[in-house]
Chains A and B, each alone.
Chain A
Amino acid sequence: MWRRYLLWFAHEHVDFRHAEINSILSLFKIPIKFIEKPCLEKPYWIVELPSEDCAKKIASRSVLMKNCIELWSRAKSIDQLHINLRKSLQNTTSKWIFENVECAEHICPKELIDVCCSPNSSFKIEVETFCKHFSIQEKLDKIEEFTYLPLKGSVKLKNPDITLSYLEFYGVNPNNVPEQPYDLFFGKWISEGQRDLIRFHSLKKRKFIGNTSMDAQLAIVMANQAQIAPGHIVIDPFVGSGSLLIAAAHFGAYVWGSDIDYMMLHGRTRPTRVGQKVRSKEESIKNNLKQYGTESKYIDILVSDFSLPLWRDGVKFDAMITDPPYGVREPTEKIGIERNNYTLSEEHLTNHIPSKVEYGLPHIYSDLLNFAARHLEMNGRLVCWFPVIRADYQDEQLPSHPCLKLIANSEQILTKLTARRLLTYEKICDDVSSVTVDPSSGVPNFRDKYFAIGEETRRERKERRAEEIATYAAVKARLGNEVT
C-alpha cells in the first residue's frame, strides 16, 4: 500500500524546491503522487510514496526539505483534527477516507496508528508551529489534547522509538498572523532532511574560501540537481575555491576542478576574511575536502584556460557543476593580448604572467555547453548559474544546445535589479559531431548592462533625493513665514 506523507520544507529558495526534489526522485527512480497540488505559499507538500524507504531516500539528499512525516490526520481546525484522528482509530477499511473534500479532512487507516501502540515502543510528541511562537507550557497543553491516543509505551524524550509530530501552520506572512492556524497535521515522524549540512559545510568555518565561494546550501542543491551519486566523476571548470566540489564529494563523487586563476588555486590571493592579513599555507581545495572528511574523493586541480581544449577526446564526466564568473565580482577573462605579432623573449619566459583579454559571457556559455555536449556521459547533467537583469529576462536568452535539454531553471534574486538562474541541462544526444553553439546567440553581456542600469538608477535616486530635500526646505520655509 502506498503511504501518505507530509514533506515539510524550509521556506527559503522556494523556486528551487521542485527542481531539487524532482532531481532526487528521478535519481532514485521514485514515483510520487500529489494528494494536493503544491503551492509556493505553503512550505509543505502532501504526497503518496510507495514505501517508507522512498521517503527516507528523499530525506537523505534534500537540503531544502526539513522533515518528512507519515500523515495520520490533517484538518483546517484544531477540533476537526482531533475528530479526524478519533475517527481514524475506528477506520478499519485499510484505506484513507476523505469525509469532506472541500475542507480536506483526511482520516487515515487504523493500522498506521496501531503499529505505534505497542507497550514496548517508547515515544514522544513534538509540536512545531509555523509563523507563530508558543511557550513550552502552551505546547505541553497542545500535547495533552492527544491523551485519547492508545499509546501504551513509555514517554522518552531522548531517542524514543517513535516520534509523533504535531504541526500547526499559521501562513507565511509574519505581519499578519491569524488567531487560529490555517492548516494542521499530525503523524509519525520519519526522517529529517539535510538541513544540518548547511551548518556543517558553513563558509564561516571553512578553512579556504574565496570572494565568491558558493553558499553551502545552494552548493548542495546544485549537487542534487546534477544527480551526483557515489563513484561519479565530476568536474567544475571554473572551480575557484572549490565550494561546489565539496558538495559533490559529500555525495561520493570523485572531483576535478580547473580555473584560470593560478593564485587562487595556490591559495595565494588576498585573504577573503575580514581582518586576515595573509592566507595560511594550509588554505587549499584539497584541505577543504580534508576538513569535511572527503579527501579521498579529491582527484586534481588544474590551472587552465577554459576557452582552449585540455581534455583528451572521449573523456566523459558524469556531471558538471559550475558557477562561471559573471564579470562583476570575478572577471571574465582568458589568456590573450590585443596587440598583433607579440613575442616574448626567452629570458622573460620563466615566471611570466600572461596578459588576459575579455572572455565575454556569450563565449563562456557557448564554450560551456559545447564542452558539456562533448564531455558528458549520456544523460549526464550540467548544472550552472546564469546571471540576468530581471527586467529584461526572457527564457529565449538562455543558452541552448541541440544535444542538451533544459531540465530546470530556478531564480535566486540577488538585488532589486539582478538575479541569477540555476540552469540544469541533461545530455540527450551523443552525436555532437560538429554542432557548436554560436556565441552571438541571445546571451546578453551581463556586466555592461549591470553597470549601465546601476548608474542610471543611482543618478535617478540622487535626483529624487535632491528634489525631496528641496521640497522639504520650501515647505519648511513657507511654514516658517506663516508663523511669523
Chain B
Amino acid sequence: MKLITHNMLTSKCLKGVVTGYPLAINATDIKVKEVDFNPEFISRVIPKLDWEVLWVAADSIGHSDGLPRSLENKYDENEEFLKKAHKVLLEVEVEEGHLTCPESGRQFPISKGIPNMLLNEAEVQ
C-alpha cells in the first residue's frame, strides 16, 4: 500500500464510525521501490490530498525526511519538493502491517502490499 492510497482510505464501512479517518499505520515491512517520476502528475494530485495527513503518515513510518509539514504556495514549480512528494506518495510501500480505525480501534491487515478492508459478517449485521 502506498501513502497516496492511505490518504484516501477510511473505515467508514464500520457501524457507528462517522469519519474513520485518518487510519493509523502500523508497518512491519516497508519497501522503497523506484517509480518513474512524473512532475505533472504529482502537481495534479497534491490538491486532491490531505497534506497534513500525508505528513503524519510518512512521519509515523519514518519517511518524512525533508518533507515540509505544510504546503508552500508555488509547490508545483519546486522540482526538489515534487521529487520528495513523489517518493513519499508512490515509492514508499507498506508491504506488511495493519491499518487501525481511529474511532473503533478495528485493525485491517495489509499483506503483500494489499490492504484487506473486508469486515466480517458479524460486523455488517
Contacts and interface: CB of A to CB of B under 8 A. Distances in A.
Contact of B13 (A265, A308, A340): A308
Interface residues of B, number: 35
Q: Which of A308, A341, A343 has the most CB of B within 10 A?
A: A308
A185 to B, nearest CB: 41
A304 interface: yes
Contacts, number: 106
A374 to B, nearest CB: 12
Interface stretch (A20-28, A193-201, A254-262): A254-262
Contacts of B117: 258, 302-305, 310
Nearest to A343: B122
B106 to A, nearest CB: 11
Contacts of B44: 231
Contacts of A262: 116, 118
Contacts of B73: none
A344 B116 contact: no
Interface in A300-334: 300-305, 308-312, 315-316
A233 interface: yes
Given A299-B2, A302-B114, A310-B13, A231 B41 contact: yes
A50 to B, nearest CB: 27
- Chain B binding surface, main DSSP class: loop
A303 B120 CA distance: 13
B125 interface: yes
Nearest to A285: B114
- Chain A binding surface, main DSSP class: loop
A134 interface: no
Contact of B120 (A230, A302, A341, A349): A349
A148 B119 CA distance: 76
A356 B121 CA distance: 8
A336 interface: yes
A231 B86 CA distance: 13
Interface string A412-448: 0000000000000000000000000000000000000
B1 interface: yes
B10 A309 contact: yes
Nearest to A334: B124
A310 B2 contact: no
A258 to B, nearest CB: 8
B71 interface: no
A261 B4 CA distance: 23
A316 B116 contact: no
A234 to B, nearest CB: 12
B48 A260 contact: no
A337 interface: yes
Interface of A: 230-231, 233, 254, 256, 258, 260, 262, 265-266, 295-296, 299-305, 308-312, 315-316, 335-337, 340-344, 349, 352, 354-356
6 contacts: A233-B45, A256-B5, A302-B9, A311-B10, A312-B7, A340-B125
